[in-house]
């Protein structure tokens, strides 16, 4: 329909306005949207006999295209190309061409809403070493493709395409055929903004949308989680291999698991036990081989001894059958003596392994067969030793309880009594460590006492009270207790007290406990709390490995803070750039790069022709600006 015809129709309608009555009922069957074909119709029952319906545009015809009539002129079809209003008129004429009525309608087309959603085909899971299970996480990883999907709301009924863009902190790695799907990546944690426009087949913009994609988890944390998970999987496989009797394979897999998770207490403790048992197994195999060689050399008594010792070290069914065969070979006359000898040998083997209850049982059985003063003396010594071991265990257990209660001197007394009953080098070293701790605590208490006294003389009673309490908590002194009572009559200070560990005072066991707690905090991504606890452990038990780990962790913390500060600057720069404030945006981008390097931002600035360094300011009148030019 040509525009000249439409304008003529509009004038005719205006001139004959007084001649017609009520206009036709214009029906709008759907909500109009930009770029989508839209239909208006009228009720045909209102058309006069022999008359006709005429359509026209009062205003806004330039805002539509593809205008045409359907159903014998009862429907007007067109496509809005923007969201500006369009006013349309419909008029009835009788058979003589007289105007009998008209109606107007204003169409306000809406842009389609574009919904952007994040699709994670592979959900991120982190390994919880404490719970031995995977923990689902909604986090997105750096340096890993993130799939985004867009759809029009409501659904567009025709052919359409999408055009994507993102800010300088992210990169679009894949966008097949300008479809509603893309993949983006980002090298650092932070927020990236993604933008999208939709167009129909004629190039009319249907709508736009945007979404902030938060990248919250560094890939390194995920990889560390995967290593810990693999370590636990390997360790479970190693245990299964061990239970199946594949000892060598189990030990090798256990070594691999420990290498991937050296601070996992379950794997470390379990592998130590496995390695110890493997040593017993190899020793048992060697003894069995020796027994076979002795049997081949007709040394039946010696072979029997070796085979029985192999069975004590590492019991096997095949050993039992070989032992039975050797017993039958031995002369019947010596069966009794040999049986006694076997019992003594077995008892001696248990005796050497420290299994005194079993040794006592076998020594007693040998005495029932053949009396022996040497065996009787050994039985008496074992019984005496068992009594001493029981006493030592009791003293050590009581000492451990006292140590947990902070009663170090009483704990040392019990540990010393334990060593007297049953010498133990490890316990002796622990006593020496506790004595050093006590000395350090007494010295630190004296230092805090002096600080408190100085504060009290200067009139700072509250801080003095705090120092006195810290001194008394570390090492009790009557004078300190008296001063605390005097000060508490007039002043209160309920601030938390520092513990001995805060001053680098503690045992190796204290340090190990702190490291375990710090490891748990690190797994929960509480890096700063973990670093503080690692430093406490390092002060107690210096270690190059731990020191290097703390240095690496603190570097990561500084790196993350710098990245977060730079990301904030980049976000502000993106907003300025989007608003057309190029110079202000460029300054913000440079500020961000000064805080933390970002290859994507540098590439973005170069692509936009923006210098990475600010342009130098030219001095007025070409006057020298150096030290000599100033007056």
pLDDT tens per residue, range 233-283: 999 999 999 999 898 999 999 999 989 888 888 888 998 999 999 999 999
pLDDT of residue 5: 39
Q: 217, 242, 267: which is the final residue of a domain?
A: 217
Beta bridge partners of 105: 88
Radius of gyration of the chain, Cα coordinates, nearest whole angstrom: 45
Compute φ and ψ for 216, nearest 5 degrees. Answer: -115, -10
Compute φ and ψ for 86, nearest 5 degrees. Answer: -130, 125
pLDDT of residue 630: 36
Provide the residue range defining the domain that includes 362: 225-389
Residue 398 lies in a domain: no
Residue 480 lies in a domain: yes
Residue 295 and residue 325 in contact, taking contact as beta carbons nearer than 8 Å: no
pLDDT of residue 20: 42
- In three state form, how does the secondary structure of 183-226 look? EEECCCCEEEEEEEEEEECCCCEEEEEEEEEEECECHHHHHHHH
- Give the sign of the dihedral formed by CA 59, CA 61, CA 63, CA 69: positive
Mean pLDDT score across all residues of the chain = 83
Helices first, then strands: H and E counts in the chain: 18, 16
Least confident segment among 263-267, 418-422, 489-493, 624-628: 624-628
Residue 513 lies in a domain: no
Q: For position 21, which CATH number holds?
A: 2.60.40.10
Q: Identify the helix (H) or strand (E) that includes residue 41.
A: strand 38-42
Residue 519 lies in a domain: no
Cis peptide before 21 (omega within 30 of 0): no
Q: Per residue in 355-386, pLDDT tens?
A: 888 888 888 988 888 888 888 888 888 888 78
pLDDT of residue 273: 93
- Give the sign of the dihedral formed by CA 430, CA 435, CA 440, CA 445: positive
Query: Which range has highest mean pLDDT (9-13, 103-107, 503-507)?
Result: 103-107
Residues 157 and 125 occupy one common structural domain: yes
Q: Per residue in 287-329, pLDDT tens?
A: 999 999 998 998 888 999 999 999 898 898 888 899 998 888 8
Place of tokens 């986090």: 139
Residue 457 lies in a domain: yes
The pTM for the full model equals 0.41
Q: Per residue in 516-554, pLDDT tens?
A: 998 998 899 888 888 888 888 887 878 888 889 988 888
Residue 615 lies in a domain: no
**What's the rounded mean pLDDT across residues 135-163?**
86
Residues 479 and 338 occupy one common structural domain: no
503 pLDDT band (50/70/90 cuts)? Answer: confident
Q: Per residue in 170-185, pLDDT tens?
A: 898 888 777 788 988 9
32 pLDDT band (50/70/90 cuts)? Answer: very high
Residue 88 lies in a domain: yes
The CA distance from 142 to 245, in Å, is 43
Q: Per residue in 7-29, pLDDT tens?
A: 444 434 443 433 344 678 888 88
Place of tokens 């045992």: 507
Which residues are within 8 A (CB) of 118 and not within 5 positions of it... i.e. 6 or more apart?
Answer: 140, 146, 147, 148, 211, 213
Residues 102 and 119 occupy one common structural domain: no
C-alpha torsion 590→592→594→597, nearest 10: -110
Which residues are within 8 A (CB) of 576 and not within 5 positions of it... i.e. 6 or more apart?
Answer: 582, 584, 585, 588
Higher-confidence residue: 527 or 336? 527
pLDDT of residue 291: 93
Compute φ and ψ for 10, nearest 5 degrees. Answer: -60, -45
């Amino acid at each position: 329909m040509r525009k000249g015809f439409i304008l003529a129709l509009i004038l005719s309608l205006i001139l004959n306005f007084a001649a017609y009555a009520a206009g036709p009922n214009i029906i709008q069957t759907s909500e109009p949207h930009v770029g989508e074909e839209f239909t208006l119709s009228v009720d045909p029952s209102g058309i006069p006999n022999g008359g006709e319906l005429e359509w026209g545009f009062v205003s806004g015809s330039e805002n539509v295209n593809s205008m045409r009539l359907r159903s014998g002129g009862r429907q007007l079809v067109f496509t809005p190309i923007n969201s500006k209003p369009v006013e349309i008129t419909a008029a009835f004429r009788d058979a003589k061409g007289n105007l009998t009525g008209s109606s107007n309608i204003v169409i306000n087309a809406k842009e389609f809403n574009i919904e952007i959603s994040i699709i994670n085909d592979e959900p991120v899971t982190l390994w919880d070493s404490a719970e031995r299970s995977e923990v689902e996480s909604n986090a997105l990883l750096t340096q890993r493709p993130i799939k985004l999907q867009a759809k029009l709301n409501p659904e567009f009924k025709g052919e359409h395409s999408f055009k994507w863009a993102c800010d300088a902190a992210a990169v679009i790695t894949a966008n097949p055929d300008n479809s509603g799907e893309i993949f983006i990546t980002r090298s650092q944690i932070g927020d990236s903004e993604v933008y999208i426009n939709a167009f129909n087949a004629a190039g009319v913009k249907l709508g736009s949308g945007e979404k902030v994609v938060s990248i919250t988890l560094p890939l390194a944390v995920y990889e560390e989680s995967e290593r810990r998970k693999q370590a636990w999987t390997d360790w479970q496989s190693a245990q299964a291999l061990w239970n199946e009797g594949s000892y060598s394979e189990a030990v090798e897999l256990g070594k691999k698991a420990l290498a991937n998770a050296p601070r996992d207490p379950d794997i470390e403790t379990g592998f130590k036990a496995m390695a110890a048992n493997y040593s017993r197994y190899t020793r048992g195999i060697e003894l069995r081989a020796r027994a076979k060689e002795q049997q081949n050399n007709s040394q039946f008594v010696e072979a029997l001894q070796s085979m029985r010792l192999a069975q004590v070290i590492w019991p096997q069914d095949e050993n039992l059958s070989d032992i039975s065969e050797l017993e039958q070979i031995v002369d019947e006359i010596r069966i009794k003596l040999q049986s006694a000898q076997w019992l003594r040998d077995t008892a001696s083997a248990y005796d050497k392994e420290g299994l005194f209850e079993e040794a006592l049982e076998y020594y007693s059985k040998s005495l029932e067969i053949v009396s022996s003063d040497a065996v009787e003396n050994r039985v008496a010594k074992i019984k005496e030793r068992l009594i001493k071991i029981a006493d030592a265990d009791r003293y050590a257990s009581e000492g451990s309880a006292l140590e947990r209660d902070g009663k170090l001197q009483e704990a040392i007394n019990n540990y010393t009594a334990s060593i007297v009953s049953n010498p133990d080098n490890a316990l002796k070293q622990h006593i020496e460590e506790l004595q050093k701790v006590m000395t350090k605590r007494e010295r630190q208490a004296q230092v805090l006492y002096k600080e408190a006294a100085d504060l009290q003389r200067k009139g700072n009673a509250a801080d003095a009270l705090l120092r006195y309490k810290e001194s008394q908590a570390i090492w009790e002194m009557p004078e300190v207790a008296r001063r605390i009572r005097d000060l508490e009559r007039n002043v209160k200070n309920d601030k938390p007290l520092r513990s001995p560990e805060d001053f680098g005072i503690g045992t190796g066991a204290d340090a190990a406990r702190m490291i375990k707690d710090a490891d748990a905090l690190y797994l929960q991504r509480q890096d700063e709390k973990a670093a503080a606890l690692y430093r406490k452990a390092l002060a107690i038990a210096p270690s190059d490995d731990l020191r290097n780990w703390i240095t690496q962790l603190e570097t990561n913390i500084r790196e993350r803070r710098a990245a977060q500060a730079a990301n904030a600057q980049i976000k502000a720069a993106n907003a300025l750039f989007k608003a057309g404030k190029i110079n202000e945006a460029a300054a913000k981008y440079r500020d961000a790069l000064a805080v933390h390097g970002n290859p994507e931002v540098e590439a973005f600035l170069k692509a936009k022709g923006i210098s990475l360094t600010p342009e130098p300011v030219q001095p007025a009148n070409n006057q020298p600006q150096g030290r000599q030019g100033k007056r």
